[in-house]
């Protein structure tokens, strides 16, 4: 779950923030929006300074204009641009966050399994968009495994994506401090996590049967084309839309709907809403929506 410079969250680097002129802030605000879709308001200015201050010091620059010139004139491969994107984003997530969403997912998976029986297709395709450090897609994988039981007879694939390349490497490793899994029910902790020993004491790793269901990949939601060709049973995109402007929110909601199978689920964050953008979706729980069959969607106007 990706967040961008969240309001009210203390930043450990804020004390080291450099000063930025109005003109420089406007340049970086446009650049960030062009690259990520994130809309930075004036309240994010001190945090932008703090986060990018590290990159300025890395290159020995004393002004944001020098760093902007580096990004736009001396970074042909886009490597520093990617580091800039990584720097301005913050990752906040946890296992089974907003547990009611996983209750709905569990019921959906069980219903899908019941329909498949012994003859129907045994496939599940899901996407964790803005997966951060991986707790969300692994929670999805554990939910599927725990619901299906003999999941090896199913073809289950979970795409987990984020714009931050550094956090994706952390997520793919599947290793977490023990306190990060304290809220996970004891039965699930025992079944799906391995406790580290020796040098790894104090850490746990997600078991292979859950890790092998998840593929991590960098995807920028602002890109015109996403590497997804298969209709999806569920999309988790939580605490992401609130950092985009209304036009991009509308665009993403439409694209998510197009990717979902009829009956597929879309999960948003607790403070996000699809008010005015819910044509083709029905509300099935707090910030949880199901795609309507085509005939029902055609007969139901958007709220």
Active site residues: 51, 162
Running DSSP on this structure, what letter comes out for residue 242? Answer: G
d(CA 297, CA 109): 23
Are the C-beta atoms of 261 and 289 separated by less than 8 Å? no
How far apart, in Å, are the Cα atoms of 174 and each of 127, 149, 214, 246? 17, 22, 10, 34
d(CA 135, CA 138): 5
Beta-strand relationship, 232-237 and 123-129: parallel
Helix (H) or strand (E) holding 249: helix 246-259
How far apart, in Å, are the Cα atoms of 235 and each of 84, 177, 276, 289, 293? 27, 27, 19, 10, 17
Are the C-beta atoms of 262 and 294 separated by less than 8 Å? yes
Beta strands in 25-122 (DSSP E): 89-91
d(CA 15, CA 47): 10
How far apart, in Å, are the Cα atoms of 32 and each of 88, 89, 181? 9, 10, 33
The token duo for 169 is: 């490497």
């Amino acid at each position: 779950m990706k967040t961008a410079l969240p309001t009210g969250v203390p930043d450990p680097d804020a004390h080291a923030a450099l000063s930025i002129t109005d003109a420089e802030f406007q340049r970086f605000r446009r650049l960030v929006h062009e690259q990520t879709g994130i809309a930075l308001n004036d309240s994010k200015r001190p945090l932008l300074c703090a986060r990018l201050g590290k990159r300025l010091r890395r290159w020995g620059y004393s002004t944001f204009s020098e760093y902007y010139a580096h990004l736009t004139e001396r970074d042909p491969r886009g490597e520093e641009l990617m580091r800039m994107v990584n720097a301005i984003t913050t990752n906040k997530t946890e296992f089974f966050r907003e547990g009611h969403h996983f209750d709905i997912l569990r019921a959906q998976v069980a219903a899908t399994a019941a329909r498949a029986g012994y003859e129907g297709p045994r496939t599940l395709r899901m996407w964790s968009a803005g997966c951060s450090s991986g707790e969300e897609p692994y929670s999805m994988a554990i939910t599927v495994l725990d619901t299906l039981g003999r999941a090896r007879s199913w073809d289950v694939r979970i795409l987990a994506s984020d714009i931050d390349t550094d956090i994706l490497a952390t997520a793919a490793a599947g290793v977490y401090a023990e306190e990060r899994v304290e809220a996970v029910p004891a039965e699930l902790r025992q079944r799906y996590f391995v406790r580290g020993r020796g040098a790894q004491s104090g850490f746990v790793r997600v078991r292979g049967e859950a890790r092998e269901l998840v593929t991590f990949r960098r995807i920028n939601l602002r890109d015109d084309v996403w590497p997804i060709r298969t209709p999806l049973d569920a999309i988790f995109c939580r605490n992401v839309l609130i950092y985009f402007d209304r036009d991009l929110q509308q665009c993403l909601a439409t694209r998510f709907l197009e990717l979902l199978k009829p009956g597929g689920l879309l999960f948003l964050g607790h403070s996000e809403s699809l008010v005015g953008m819910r044509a083709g979706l029905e509300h099935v729980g707090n910030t949880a929506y199901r795609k309507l069959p085509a005939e029902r969607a055609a007969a139901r106007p958007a709220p």
